[in-house]
Amino acid sequence: MTRIDELLAAGVTTSFEFFPPKTDAGDARLREALKELEPLEPSYVSVTYGAGGGTRERTHRLVVDILRETSMTPMAHLTAVSHTRDELAGLLARYRDAGVENILALRGDPPQADEGEGFWELPLAIELVELAKDVGGEQFSVGVAAHPEGHPLAESLADDRRNLAAKLEVADFAVTQFFFQAEDYLAMMEDLDRLGCTKPVVAGVMPVTNVRQIQRFAELSGAAFPRWLSDRLLEVEDDPEEVRRIGVDVATRMCQQLLEAGAPGLHFYTLNRSTATREIHANLDLPAPAATE
C-alpha cells in the first residue's frame, strides 16, 4: 500500500474511479473493468460512497477487495451527511484496521426527497478531514473535493476558493469534480496560488460516451457542459461509436493541455467501464507510476 500524497510527491499520477454496483450484472461488469484497467498500473483507484451512506457496506467491501485481491492501491470515499461523528469514527477505524491508507473526505450532498431529510453532525468537510487524521494518524493520506467552476451551493466563486484553500490547509491533496475545459482547472489553480495554497490538486476527467447521461451529471455537479461540445456531440447522438470517438479525442486533448500546464495527476471517472479510459491512456502514452519508498 502507498499513501497518495507520497505518490503525488514522486511524480504525475493516474487514477480511476468506480462506484459499488447494485446488481450481480453490475458487479460482473465492474470486476471485468478492474481486470482490464489493472495492467495500466494506475497510481491508485477510488470507490465512491452513496448518498447518506447508502452504499456503506458495498463501498467498504469493494475497497478491501481491491486492497487484498489486486495490485492496485484503493482510496475510500466517505461522506459526512446523515452520519453521527461516532459512526464516521467507526467507519474510519474499520478502514484503518483493514490496512487502507487513503480516504477522500466529503461533506456530501443533501439526500433526495425519498431518502429522508439528512443531517450533518459534522457540517463541514474540513471537520471530517480532521476526524480522519485523528483516527488514522500517520496511516491515512486524506483528500478533499475541488470544483473548478465552483461548488453549486457556494455563495460565490471567491467564497468557494477560500473554503477549498482552508480544506487544503488540513488535507493532503484534492481531486476535482469532472470538467470539460482545461481553462477552468487552470483558473482555479491560479486562484489557489494567490491564496498561498500549494497542495496538489488532481484533475478529474470524464470522457463523454453518452451525451444525455453526461449532460445530466453536469447539471447535478454544477459543471458547465460547453455549447461547442454539446453541439458537436448532438450531431452524432445516434451513432454511439462516433460519440465515444469524439469524447475520447476531446478528453485526450484536454489531458494533454493539463499535463503540459503542470497538473500533478489525472483522475478518470470510468462509470465502471474501461474502454474510453484505456483509449485515452494509450493516446497519452502515460508512463507507469513512479516508485515510492
For residue range 42-91, list pLDDT tens digits in order. 999 999 998 666 788 999 999 999 999 999 999 999 999 989 999 999 99
Q: In the chain, where does DSSP find H-type helix?
A: 4-10, 24-37, 56-69, 85-98, 125-136, 157-170, 182-194, 211-221, 227-234, 240-260, 275-284
Assign residue 171 the CATH number of its domain.
3.20.20.220
Whether 127 is covered by a domain: the verdict is yes
Give me the domain span that covers residue 158. Answer: 4-284
Whether 289 is covered by a domain: the verdict is no
Q: Contact, 149 vs 185, CB < 8 A? A: no
Whether 24 is covered by a domain: the verdict is yes
Whether 136 is covered by a domain: the verdict is yes
- Residue 224 pLDDT greater than 90, yes or no: no
237-285 pLDDT per residue, tens: 899 999 999 999 999 999 999 999 999 999 999 989 899 999 999 999 8
180-197 pLDDT per residue, tens: 999 999 999 999 999 999
Give the per-residue pLDDT at 117.
60
Q: Contact, 128 vs 71, CB < 8 A? A: no
Dihedral in degrees, nearest 10, Cα atoms 47, 288, 276, 145:
40
At residue 250, φ and ψ (nearest 5 deg) are -65, -45
Distance, C-alpha 242 to centroid of its chain: 26
What number is the average pLDDT over the span 190-216?
Answer: 91
146-175 CB burial, b ≥16 within 10 A, e <16: bbbbbbeebeebeebbbbbbbbbebbbbbb
All three cell numbers of 206, joined, read 470524464
Which has the closest alpha carbon to 136: 290, 4, 270? 4
Whether 137 is covered by a domain: the verdict is yes
156-177 pLDDT per residue, tens: 999 999 999 999 999 999 999 9
Catalytic hit among 17, 101, 127, 279: 17
Give me the number of domains the chain comprises: 1
Give the per-residue pLDDT at 216.
77
Whether 237 is covered by a domain: the verdict is yes
Whether 290 is covered by a domain: the verdict is no
User: What's the mean per-residue pLDDT of the chain?
Assistant: 91
Its pTM stands at 0.92
Whether 293 is covered by a domain: the verdict is no
Residue 17 a catalytic site member: yes
